[in-house]
Structure formats: structure tokens, C-alpha cells
Amino acid sequence: MANNTAVHDGEGCGTACILSMVDNASVESRRYYLARRTLMEMLRDRGYVVANMEVELRRSLADFREVFGDKPEAERLRIIACRASDPSRKMNVHAQKVLDEYPVKVETFPITGLLFNITKHFLATKHEILTPEDKETLLKKHSIEDKQLPRMLENDAIAKYYGLEKGQVVKDLHAILWKPLCCENDRLRDWETVSAASDEAFENLVLLLKL
């Protein structure tokens, strides 16, 4: 029986023909390019500093391939970052003891999960991580315990992106903006008024990470 799929001068070759034109090396380098850029943005959003970060983030795919090749070596893609200095981040004796006991934290991400920065999605909300002092102020202000706050799971995509740990509190800034849109004739007010309006529900826009 004759094959119904005929090939005449390059026409009608279908999927097989298209796949034959795909450069696997180019696909691989693009994946590494996107994942590496997302990792740098993640480090920046976590408060880390990487040498020449802005230059790296502006690097085009063509420039990336010129530097690392079509099949980048993992060793050459290594990123070294350091925590940005912050005078307000003082370590007490207990924290130092915990750090000494567990000096290394390892996080793994599949490369497919780094091809796009989830915080840049148009439906993603802006998050602000509260300091321990801000968290304590919040709880005292509303006379509540942290277990009474809404919770988010440890494997939540946002929690993993920011490297959140048990007990940390996150403010969902998008929720702040939504509340005033539903009151006072739908007038959008300035930031101070918007923030004040959200206090009525003891800042129900705050999430507590739960392990």
C-alpha cells in the first residue's frame, strides 16, 4: 500500500520536516538563558547582590550564546551572590545559634520552572516580606497570634520564589489596592488612605507561611 504522505520539492513533509530544522543546541541555550536570568531576578528580589547584575539582565540571547555557546557548561553558568548589607538586620544570640547549627540551606528548582519569572505575570500580585519587628507590631496592633493569620503553603510558587521560611509574614500589596475600589463610590485614594482602609480586617491581606 502506498504511503499517502508524499514529499515533493520540500512540500508536504509536515511535522517531521519542521523538527528536522530545529536546532537542539539553540533550544538548550535558550532554556539556560531564560533560567539564568530568572535566577538573577530571584536573587535580587531576595536582597542579594550579584556583580554586574544589571548588565547580565540586559544581556540578549545572542550575547549569551556568544559568551556561553550553544551548549552551555553548567560550571560556567554558576552565579555567586552576597547578601546586601542592611544595618537593621541585627542577629541575636538565638538566631546565631540556629545559623551555626544549620549553616547551609539548599534549594532546588527544575529548569522548566525558571523559564518565566512568575512575579512578572499580569495576574501576580506584589508581595512585601515583613521584618520580625513589623510582624510583632502587626500582631500587637490587632491583638492576635500568628496562627490566626491566613496561611500559605510551603510549596506555594511565591513562597518558593522568595525563599520564605516558616513563621514569616508576607503582605499582599495587590489586596490593599482592591479594597478601596469596592467602597467610597469606587474612588481610588492615595497610598496612606488605602493602607488605612485595609486595617479594618486586621490586614487580611497578610499571609503567614505554614509548613
Residue 40 has pLDDT above 50, yes or no: yes
Ranking 61-70, 84-93, 127-136 by mean pLDDT, the lowest is 84-93
Q: What is the pLDDT of residue 114?
A: 93
Q: How far is CA 34 from CA 8, 28, 63, 169, in A?
A: 38, 10, 13, 29
Residue 34 has pLDDT above 90, yes or no: yes
Q: Where in the chain is the domain with CATH 3.90.940.20?
A: 117-211
- Report, as an integer, the average pLDDT of 137-146: 85
pLDDT in tens, 42-85: 999 988 988 888 888 999 999 999 999 988 888 899 888 888 76
pLDDT in tens, 155-175: 888 889 998 888 888 887 765
**Do residues 91 and 99 lie in contact, with contact meaning Cβ atoms separated by under 8 Å?**
yes
Residue 210 has pLDDT above 50, yes or no: no
Residue 203 has pLDDT above 70, yes or no: no
Ranking 24-33, 68-77, 109-118, 155-164 by mean pLDDT, the lowest is 24-33
For the chain, percent helix, then strand, then coil, each to nearest 5? 50, 10, 40
pLDDT in tens, 72-82: 888 899 888 88
Residue 22 has pLDDT above 80, yes or no: no
- The set of cell numbers assigned to 177 is 489596592
Which pLDDT band holds residue 199 (cuts at 50, 70, 90)? very low
Q: What is the pLDDT of residue 35?
A: 94
Burial class (CB in 10 A: 0-12, 13-18, 19+), 143: exposed
CATH number of 117-211, picked from 3.30.1520.10, 3.30.1950.10, 3.30.70.260, 3.90.940.20: 3.90.940.20
In the predicted model, what is the mean pLDDT of the chain?
A: 72
Cα–Cα distance, 191 to 78 (Å, whole number): 40
Residue 196 has pLDDT above 70, yes or no: no
